Structure 1
Amino acid sequence: MKIKDIFIYLFFCSTISFAQDKRFQLPIALQKSYFEVNVGSINYNFTQSQLESLPDYEFQSVEVPHTAVRLVLFGHKFNNYLSAQISYMRPVSWVNYKYLTSGTTQSTSVWMNIAGLTIKGQIPIAKKIHVFGELGLGIITRLGGANLRNGDVLVKKANYSSFLFGGGFKYNLNPKIDLLLSSVFSPEKAAFRQPAISFVSTGFSYNLNPIREEKIQEAKKVGYKHPKQLFQIGYSSTIIGYGINNLFSKIPIFWGGEAEVNRGISFDYRQNVFNTAKYFSLDWGVGASFFMSNIKEESFYTIAAYPVFRFNFLHTKPFDTYVYYSIAGPSFISKKVIDDVDTGEKFTFQDNMGLGFYFGEDRKSNVEFKIGHYSNGNIFTQNPGVKIPFSVNLGYAF
């Protein structure tokens, strides 16, 4: 199953849930699903052999940090023995080379990440302990080596697919949390002089289980209004600059981008597929945006499907206030080179973060303030990102 097919499946199942208006229950696509966080040691034998042979550059040393993280962005259990998952793995700090040129010691880093699409099988060996193994596709992206004069690089870019396999043990702490001890491995790729990659970690899995009926009835009694559908028109502008984008990219809880948008207009449709009684809501959305770049005023457009994680932190009689985060919405961008910045490929991801309000007796009116970003998550070797400035969205809920 391709990644885009998974998103189509999620959207379709969410639509069914919406049609039946059972929004206090998790959508079918999310029931028996899970997310994972793993922290451990990554090992790969980067040496002088990865460097290009260039005159006037002499290898001195290489530093290979080992701390790394692996996230399972989405996993789904088909039954008690078989599941599928999408993962992302990268070191916390990059490999760093030191070299001598013109009598001066300089350094350059090598960035690398591994995206995975794997099948996981497990069997119980005790009441709360399972042993598992996984096998599937890994996409390795390597970007490194400072651009030297005449366009030379010390370490060439690499982007290739490979096997990804591993295994480990899982301890069921409670119905929602599993503790993990695991490892994953990808073989070397001689064509790119890429060493084998191994990762050993500990972590946890958070399981999404169907909401119990008594909890659903309790949530319905609270009586807060949760709009079912929302249509928005938005406008983006640099009238206040990129200060908000830069602030949140430095914290960091969001991203900037080397390519910058000057202005734009967007059209979005969302539907609410799940909400708790008070605070959390999950929406799925689709949208189209039309932008003008900041330097050369080049026009381009994007089309996206995306999730929205909404936290309704203030309920009052005249309005409800929320913050939201939308991440990794698969998108199409019509132009790859924007203001001479090569952003990668036309497949990318949309991210948004904002503050919003529903107001009026029936909560039919909506306004949002947000910032945005497009990038491909380093699944391609070029990923400088596109920065969307402060935007105002006006919406109607129904």
Structure 2
Amino acid sequence: MASRLLVLIASIVFFQQAAANELLINAGGGPQPDSPQTNRTYGIDYSFKKFEKSVRQHIHLGVSYTRVETDADTHKSFDAYSIYPQLNLYPRKQSWGQPYFFVRALGPSYISSNQLGDRHQDNHFAFQAQVGYAARINWQSREDLVVMVSWKHFSNANLFSDNDGIDMPFVITLGLNF
């Protein structure tokens, strides 16, 4: 019974839906709330799977590399490797492209250091969360380009005792669908 369930889940995830093939490059930063430090970030994301629940709801699955740096005197950086689900909510179709709101939540992540400046995580496990506004822009007769503005956050969701969230309040992302 369990093996049949796994085969069913694998066929739904990997064979029934469209490939997303979306490459995104991002950079940003800003002041860390409740701390004197300022954080900076840059990274690259690749969405490899898209599930169209309706015209107004799409779910993307992807992988992400994020570099986070701070202006604090110690523990100045870490790298994060994440897998993420992303929910896109589209208000309506427009001729110049399509605006949407997006949420990434509970993207399991490995962070190379459990401290950034004065911010502490209990271990190297965290979640990536990101929320923002975006638009798919028509180029060459398709919605090929993506522009996003967002807030990015890493924390362990209080699963462990030390859970100082690490924030980048302003992130710009540019992407390409292929």
Which TM-score band applies after superposition, normalised by the shorter structure?
0.7 to 0.9
Q: Report the CA distance shift for 1:305/1:363 in structure 2 as closer, same or farther (over 3 A).
A: same
Match of residue 233 from structure 1 = 25
8 Å Cα contact 2:63/2:83 also seen in 1: yes
Kindly indicate whether residue 63 of structure 2 is the aligned counterpart of residue 283 of structure 1: no
Measured against aligned partners, the alpha-carbon deviations of 1:237-296 in whole angstroms (never above 9, x if no partner) come to 32xx56xxxxxxxxxxxxx67596521211000134311442000110101011111323
8 Å Cα contact 1:303/1:331 also seen in 2: yes
8 Å Cα contact 1:257/1:384 also seen in 2: no
Amino acid at match of 2:47: R
Map 1:315-334 onto structure 2 (within 5 A). Answer: 315-334=93-112
Looking at structure 1, the residues matched to 108 and 36 of structure 2 have their Cα atoms a distance apart, in angstroms, of 19
Kindly indicate whether residue 64 of structure 2 is the aligned counterpart of residue 270 of structure 1: no
Q: Report the CA distance shift for 1:393/1:359 in structure 2 as closer, same or farther (over 3 A).
A: same
3-state SS, counterpart of residue 363 of structure 1: strand
Report the TM-score, using the length of structure 2 for normalisation.
0.84
Match of residue 70 from structure 2 = 293
Q: Which has the higher strand share?
A: 2
Match of residue 313 from structure 1 = 91
Larger-Rg structure: 1
8 Å Cα contact 1:257/1:373 also seen in 2: no
8 Å Cα contact 1:335/1:346 also seen in 2: yes
Measured against aligned partners, the alpha-carbon deviations of 1:21-50 in whole angstroms (never above 9, x if no partner) come to 4xxxxxxxxxxxxxxxxxxxxxxxxxxxxx
Looking at structure 2, the residues matched to 17 and 257 of structure 1 have their Cα atoms a distance apart, in angstroms, of 45
Of structures 1 and 2, the one scoring higher in RCO (CA 8 A, sep 6+) is 2
Shift of 1:236: 1.1
8 Å Cα contact 1:273/1:284 also seen in 2: yes
For 1:377, which of 157, 171, 177 is the aligned residue? 157
Name stretches of at least 5 consecutive residues in structure 1 with no aligned partner: 1-8, 22-226, 243-255
Kindly indicate whether residue 125 of structure 2 is the aligned counterpart of residue 352 of structure 1: no
Amino acid at match of 1:328: L
8 Å Cα contact 2:109/2:127 also seen in 1: yes
User: How many equivalent residue pairs?
Assistant: 168
Looking at structure 1, the residues matched to 175 and 34 of structure 2 have their Cα atoms a distance apart, in angstroms, of 27
Q: Report the CA distance shift for 1:257/1:362 in structure 2 as closer, same or farther (over 3 A).
A: farther
Match of residue 3 from structure 2 = none
8 Å Cα contact 2:80/2:109 also seen in 1: yes
Shift of 1:15: 2.8
Report the TM-score, using the length of structure 1 for normalisation.
0.39
Match of residue 84 from structure 1 = none
Query: For the aligned residues, what is the CA RMSD?
Result: 2.5
3-state SS, counterpart of residue 14 of structure 1: helix
Equivalent pairs: percent with the same residue?
21
Looking at structure 2, the residues matched to 337 and 281 of structure 1 have their Cα atoms a distance apart, in angstroms, of 34
Shift of 1:338: 1.7
